[in-house]
Amino acid sequence: MKGRKDAPSDWGCLVGICFFILGLGTLLPWNFFMTASLYFQDRLNTNVTNGSDVSNNSKYFNSCMTLLSQLPLLLFTLLNSILYQRISEVVRIAGSLVFILLLFVFTAVLVKVPMEDMDRFFAITMATIWFINSFGAVLQGSLFGLVGMLPQQYSAVFMSGQGLAGTFAAIAMLLATASDADGESAALGYFITPCVGTLLTLFCYFLLHRLAFARYYLHESAKYEAGTTDELLTAESNLADGGKLNGHAGGPEKGAVAEDETESRGKEAFTSLEQVEKKRAKASIFEVFKKIWVMAFCVTFVFTVTLSVFPAITVDVRTSSPDFRTALPGNWERYFINVCCFLTFNINDFLGRTVTTFVRWPRKESRIFPLLVVSRVVFVPLLMLCNVQERSYLPVYFPSDAVFTVIMSLFSVTSGYFVCLSMSYAPQLVEAKDAETAGSLMTFFLALGLSIGAALSFPLRKLV
């Protein structure tokens, strides 16, 4: 990967690899809890005694989990965009990773803790989801601001890592389901996996600041401030020299010429001072928003559509071929959601994000771009008309497993593609000094889309 001509080389693509793993680490909390929805539902239904097959906690688990994941993401992303200059980068990123690690360890330990009161288990799980996603919001917002200071291709790499997080979680759950271990041991192994992933992410963050290529870009702002300070001192020096000219002795003609020169140099110096101040001052949040509002709308709308049906509705789709056998041990019905919902979504979302490294169409100035983003709303009714169970109002038009998988593939690849384009285009619409502000603002609108989608999942699920 290449940057500016005077920048050191990214030896061995280590900076790219670090940002890829950092991207993966930001979405591990959300994806590992979401993919484990079957484990949580099974545990919540363990002590159902009211004659129903499904407890109320289990029935609304996915919608509650989605909402309680995205609300803190919205709130803490907003807080992060306002206070990121007052809290050091190390505290925001490394501190968040440490707390995420501790919460994953707590969740893994909870697997082995017997708990007869399912309401208490539900409350503890939801509290864990709230806090782990709060720290994830601070982490994600800070890293988006960080990667926005590097060349554009690093934003695409970072978001490809985010796309792989879901695939990583889906494969981990698939292996846990296919293992011969008992349910508790499989779940324990599943939740230990993100602990290792979070430790690796923390290591990559500290490594990043030791790499010359990353240091060149991440400390560019400090060099910029130093450069503008030198310009300011030069301008002040010009003013001082002008003052000395005015004090020189001479005849009437020489005095007049000196006075004219002084006035001219004084004006130039004041102009220089104004230019330096403008160059040094960062634009306000509102000024940056006016430049990136189209991209902000696009990322909000993409995630609103995606989270309104995934996973709250798609996780309740049932296979029309429950007796179908695969090479994997056990029944196809047990693997169906992991393979056709989570794995299919995350692999195609990853592919959509990765494609933007090579293809960027439409261009950021194109009016077609927001129109294509809005057209994704067609996937909402398509997925609601799949074999979602239990249902009350809508008929099933697409009972086939293959049709559901195709719809999920198109749904997810367009989600990843348009999100990655929006997030990578935004920093290009502002000056380099405002790229970090643009990245933080885009993260807020990303979280806004997730929260709106999560809120919409409740009425849409009831509509089915």
Distance between CA 426 and CA 159 in Å, rounded? 14
Is residue 3, in this structure, part of any structural domain at all?
Answer: no
Q: Are residues 209 and 324 in the same domain?
A: yes
Other Cβ atoms less than 10 A from the Cβ of 134: the count is: 23
Q: For position 2, what pLDDT does the model report?
A: 55
Q: Are residues 298 and 360 in the same domain?
A: yes
Neighbouring-strand partners of residue 366 = none
Q: Are residues 253 and 310 in the same domain?
A: no
Residues whose CB is less than 8 angstroms from the CB of residue 293 and which lie 6 or more positions away in sequence, other chains included: none
Distance between CA 427 and CA 440 in Å, rounded? 10
Is residue 49, in this structure, part of any structural domain at all?
Answer: yes
Is residue 54, in this structure, part of any structural domain at all?
Answer: yes
Domain count for the chain:
2
Q: Which of 246, 280, 314 is the last residue of a domain?
A: 280
Alpha-helical segments (H) within 211-367: 212-218, 220-246, 252-280, 285-309, 332-336, 344-355
Whether 205 contacts 93, CB under 8 Å:
yes
Crossing angle for the helix pair 183-208 and 37-44, to the nearest 10 degrees: 140
Q: Are residues 201 and 230 in the same domain?
A: no
C-alpha distances out from residue 195 to 189, 199, 228, 426, Å: 10, 6, 44, 32
Residues whose CB is less than 8 angstroms from the CB of residue 129 and which lie 6 or more positions away in sequence, other chains included: 33, 65, 68, 69
Q: For position 283, what pLDDT does the model report?
A: 80
Neighbouring-strand partners of residue 317 = 388
Q: Are residues 244 and 203 in the same domain?
A: no
Is residue 16, in this structure, part of any structural domain at all?
Answer: yes
Is residue 311, in this structure, part of any structural domain at all?
Answer: yes
Q: For position 196, what pLDDT does the model report?
A: 94
Is residue 2, in this structure, part of any structural domain at all?
Answer: no
Is residue 332, in this structure, part of any structural domain at all?
Answer: yes
Q: Which of 265, 280, 295 is the last residue of a domain?
A: 280
Q: Are residues 421 and 348 in the same domain?
A: yes
Three-state secondary structure call for residue 281? coil
Q: Are residues 200 and 233 in the same domain?
A: no
- Tell me the backbone φ, ψ of residue 388, rounded to 5 degrees: -80, 130
Closest CA to 383 of 358, 412, 418, 348: 412
Task: Please give the DSSP secondary-structure letter assigned to residue 29.
Answer: H
Dmax (CA) of the chain:
111
Task: Please give the DSSP secondary-structure letter assigned to residue 362.
Answer: S
Q: Are residues 265 and 287 in the same domain?
A: no
H helix and E strand count, the chain: 19, 0
Residues whose CB is less than 8 angstroms from the CB of residue 451 and which lie 6 or more positions away in sequence, other chains included: 67, 70, 71, 73, 74
Question: Model's pTM, two decimal places?
Answer: 0.74
Q: Count CA atoms closer than 13 A to 107's CA, side-chain side.
A: 30
Q: Which secondary-structure segment (H or E) carries 38?
A: helix 37-44
Q: Are residues 89 and 33 in the same domain?
A: yes
Q: pLDDT 10s per residue in the chain (464 long)?
A: 655 566 677 788 899 999 999 999 998 988 899 888 878 888 887 655 544 445 566 667 877 888 888 888 778 777 766 666 678 888 889 999 999 999 999 999 999 888 888 888 889 999 999 999 889 888 887 887 788 788 878 887 888 888 788 888 889 888 888 877 777 888 888 999 999 999 999 999 999 988 888 888 887 544 544 444 454 445 455 545 555 544 444 455 555 555 555 555 555 545 554 554 555 567 888 899 999 999 999 999 999 999 999 988 998 899 987 655 544 455 777 788 889 999 999 899 889 988 888 888 899 889 999 999 999 999 999 999 999 988 889 999 999 999 999 999 999 999 999 998 998 899 889 887 888 788 778 878 888 898 899 889 989 988 98
Q: Are residues 339 and 258 in the same domain?
A: no
Q: For position 222, what pLDDT does the model report?
A: 47
Crossing angle for the helix pair 401-425 and 285-309, to the nearest 10 degrees: 170
Distance between CA 463 and CA 312 in Å, rounded? 12
Whether 179 contacts 189, CB under 8 Å:
yes
Domain that residue 410 falls in: 11-218+282-463
Closest CA to 261 of 276, 248, 251: 248
Is residue 5, in this structure, part of any structural domain at all?
Answer: no
Q: Which of 280, 302, 327 is the last residue of a domain?
A: 280
Q: Are residues 254 and 371 in the same domain?
A: no
Q: Which two tokens stand for residue 313?
A: 């509705």
C-alpha distances out from residue 201 to 14, 20, 240, 336, Å: 13, 9, 53, 31
Q: Are residues 96 and 240 in the same domain?
A: no
Q: Which two tokens stand for residue 104?
A: 């994953």
Residue 340: CATH number of its domain: 1.20.1250.20
